[in-house]
Amino acid sequence: MIASTCIGRARDGMPGYVAINTSTFEDLGDGRTKLVTTCLFHTTQERDGMLKSGMEQGLEQSYAALDKLLASL
């Protein structure tokens, strides 16, 4: 497990925030690994603001790039 703290600055009408992120790697037993990342926000307003910011699409693009990189190794 990897744990980190993310401190976001206020912008675009959204207040600054602190989020605690954890990433857990699970061996699927067939040469693949499942990655589960959880972001814990202090308030639902902070969480909803991040979702509205395009964070989800950015993460999906990042994970797709990571999948491509790992497949090439």
* Distance of alpha carbon 73 from alpha carbon 69, whole angstroms: 7
Domain of residue 13, residue span? 2-71
Please tell me the predicted confidence (pLDDT) of residue 5: 81
pTM of this structure: 0.67
How many domains, the chain?
A: 1
Packing angle, helices 44-52 and 55-71, rounded to 10: 70
40 close to 51: Cβ distance less than 8 angstroms:
no
Kindly report, residue by residue over 37-68, the tens digit of the pLDDT: 998 988 888 888 888 887 788 889 998 998 89
